[in-house]
Amino acid sequence: MIARTTIDKVFDAARVEEVIGDFVQLKKSGSNFKGLSPFTDERTPSFMVSPVKQIWKDFSSGKGGNVVAFLMEHEHFTYPEAIKYLARKYQIEVEETQRTDEEKEQASERESMLLVSEFARDFFQECLWESESGKAIGLTYFKERGFSEDTIREFGLGYNPDQWSAFTDAALEKGYQLEFLEKTGLTIVKPAADPAQPPRKFDRFKGRVLFPIQSMSGRVLGFGGRTLSSEKKVAKYLNSPESEIYHKSKVLYGIYHAKKAIAREDVCYLVEGYTDVIQLYQSGIENVVASSGTALTPEQIRLIRRLTVNVVVLFDGDAAGLRASLRGIDLILEEGLNVRVCTFPAGEDPDSFARSHSRDAIEAYLKENSRDFIQFKTALLTEEAANDPIRRAETIRDIVSSIARIPDRIKREVYVQECASLMGISEEVLFNTLAQMTRKAQREEARKPEPGPMEVVRQDPAAAKVDPQYELERKIIEVLLLYGRESEEFEDLVLKENDEGELVLEPERSEVRVFEKIFLDLQEDEIELSDARFRSLYYKLIEKLNSEPDFSVHRLTEEADAEFAGELSAILMDEEKYELHHWERKDIYPKQKQDSLGQLVSETILSLRCYLIKKRIEALRGQTESRPGETNAEVLEEIINYLQLNKLLNKKLNRVLS
């Protein structure tokens, strides 16, 4: 268990905009920050972060909460893992009791696999630096590759001894379960020839140097292992298999180390291998990631897009299958990113080039030799087509096919103009070809089979029905959270009897704080909020607002469960959604709630009173209908009184009753 004092220190130190800024590129928007949703596939910002309230809200997915809620949603941390991550980030010592064997057994499968992976990284590092074989083989290899000791430690590089089960035996001895060693792929388990004998256990990465593959938050998800053996039958590189925690199509090697530099420089360099990343990083080019030898995927591109919309793809000078790699460029274009391409001189790759050049020389080369993807593709394909007119026509069609993938129409037109200039062909022909491709894609999309009768999702009318009482109670909580301490002049309606004996509402004006007004009005009418969570929060807010002058509402999200924390952030960030639409550019200025706070409070309370009166009238009518033939004089008189009061309240609200 983590001590409460540690948790309090973490929340005091953590800044939501700093933490989320490590994962999402945020831009200033008034007093807030905005960015692309990390939870949905979108191209316009719907994600808001409030430094003042210390919360975030994703309007596209509906998620929201405090800094811990973000880490739990985005990184799938448990609550303790999120607190520990923040403690490491802000250099806070974590006070906790030692985990018992029983607590280890009760840990979730995912958490157990992550713990195993962390142990593996530490074991491989210790073998590299402490064992004789590690220093003689693994460390020597890394140093021969030009990696400094600081870089080796920075990337957590390691070595697994050339023994059948060195790692597995060490992990089992430390209490880690064989089930999770096998599920992470670190251990291969084979049944024994004799069923009576225990299964045989082998290290997957026996005799290999190891490259830990980390998530954006730094958790170890898997490993890449390179053999140092000269045997031809042994695979040169071996990766962890797909598992609950490792999906190679959703991970980029180096993203943990590169994320801040990518956001800062507003560009990401994309390479192919582990050593390319490490060598460039060591040379000072920190905004670099690798697809780890796999074909680039949309998920990996979206990971980059959270941090920047600018990508430079770095290719080897003599890369075999360079044309096949163009598919990756098309995928990047589809995701709406800006793509440039840089190739290295023949015989060079990013690793070797970075090893033999200074940082200034590398930066200068990348700047001078990065070409727009149209220029790059035109040069590459034109060279292949030579003087063959048929192949030249295919080349042009191939380039237009890439342009067709760009979602932005203005960019498409600019690229068509550039292509026409480079290929010496009329823009009209290219635009017609582009239109044909677009129509063909639309027809193919239209021909896709419609979902069958059993696949149609019909919305339950009851589920879509709005609960007026819930919405009004939510509005009361919202006003308390946002404006509870504000002083406002209110016009109270006092029920009096006029000279004719009729009940009338007479106005009386007074200036009080918002929370006092709400509390006194609800208390006077003996109204209690029906939603249990709102009711509990209501009394807590009234108490805090009345007794703690320095009370901050963002503390409430720290104490709420994940679901209710999301509800609270939605309430607190409701107004911020208007910033996403840039209404001011169209000379449209949405009215702020605080501009008519007194009216908002009065109308909310009056509306709740009217709704409850209506429910009471319906209940009384139900009584009369259930007792036909009986005298209901008292009940009918009560109904008439409520109807009269309801009429007066609705008149104050400027509502017309039928």
Segment 137-167, tens digit of pLDDT: 999 999 999 999 999 999 999 999 999 999 9
Residues 37, 174: one domain?
no
Task: Tell me, yes or no, whether 278 lies in a domain.
Answer: no
Q: What percentage of the chain has pLDDT greater than the value 90?
A: 35
pLDDT at 453: 45
Q: What percentage of the chain has pLDDT greater than the value 70?
A: 85
Least confident of 68-72, 188-192, 197-201, 380-384: 380-384
Which helix (H) or strand (E) covers residue 65, if one does? strand 64-65
Task: Tell me, yes or no, whether 175 lies in a domain.
Answer: yes
104 vs 235, higher pLDDT? 235
| pLDDT > 70? residue 602 | yes
Domain endpoint, select from 191, 210, 245: 245
DSSP secondary structure string, 474-510? HHHHHHHHHHTT-EEEEEEEEEEE-TTS-EEEEEEEE
Residues 517, 636: one domain?
yes
Least confident of 179-188, 250-259, 288-297, 615-624: 615-624
Task: Tell me, yes or no, whether 526 lies in a domain.
Answer: yes
Residues 164, 206: one domain?
yes
Q: What share of the chain is helix, strand, coil (3-state, %, to 5)?
A: 55, 15, 35
What integer is the mean pLDDT of 216-243?
91
Residues 176, 118: one domain?
yes
Handedness of CA 129, 132, 134, 140 (dihedral sign): positive
Residues 552, 490: one domain?
yes
10 vs 380, higher pLDDT? 10
pLDDT at 461: 42
Handedness of CA 588, 593, 598, 600 (dihedral sign): positive
Task: Tell me, yes or no, whether 203 lies in a domain.
Answer: yes
108 vs 4, higher pLDDT? 4
pLDDT at 53: 83
pLDDT at 505: 67
Domain endpoint, select from 245, 274, 304: 245
- The two tokens of residue 617 are 């009238």
What integer is the mean pLDDT of 223-234?
90
| 265-269, 306-310, 492-496: which is most confident | 265-269
pLDDT level of residue 31 (50, 70, 90 thresholds): confident
Residues 426, 511: one domain?
no
Q: Domain of residue 222: give its range.
A: 108-245
Task: Tell me, yes or no, whether 519 lies in a domain.
Answer: yes
Task: Tell me, yes or no, whether 306 lies in a domain.
Answer: no
Residues 438, 510: one domain?
no
Residues 403, 474: one domain?
no
Please report, for the domain that includes residue 431, its CATH number.
1.20.50
Please report, for the domain that includes residue 12, its CATH number.
3.90.580.10
| 8-22, 371-385, 469-483: which is most confident | 8-22
Residue among 319, 268, 310, 307 at smallest CA distance from 290: 268
Task: Tell me, yes or no, whether 80 lies in a domain.
Answer: yes
Residues 544, 618: one domain?
yes
Residues 512, 385: one domain?
no
Least confident of 47-51, 53-57, 137-141, 646-650: 646-650
Chain mean pLDDT for the chain: 84
Domain tally for the chain?
Answer: 4
Digit-coded pLDDT (tens) for 195-226: 888 889 999 999 999 999 999 889 999 999 99
DSSP code of residue 43:
S
Cα dihedral 333, 334, 335, 340 in deg (nearest 10): -10
Task: Tell me, yes or no, whether 139 lies in a domain.
Answer: yes
pLDDT level of residue 103 (50, 70, 90 thresholds): low
| 187-196, 436-445, 487-496: which is most confident | 187-196
Please report, for the domain that includes residue 142, its CATH number.
3.90.980.10
* CA 154-155-158 angle, 5° bins: 110
Residues 59, 207: one domain?
no
Domain endpoint, select from 39, 61, 89: 89
pLDDT at 293: 64
pLDDT at 146: 96
DSSP secondary structure string, 93-137? PPPBPPPPHHHHHHS-HHHHHHHHHHHHHHHHHHHHHHSHHIIII
Residues 547, 419: one domain?
no
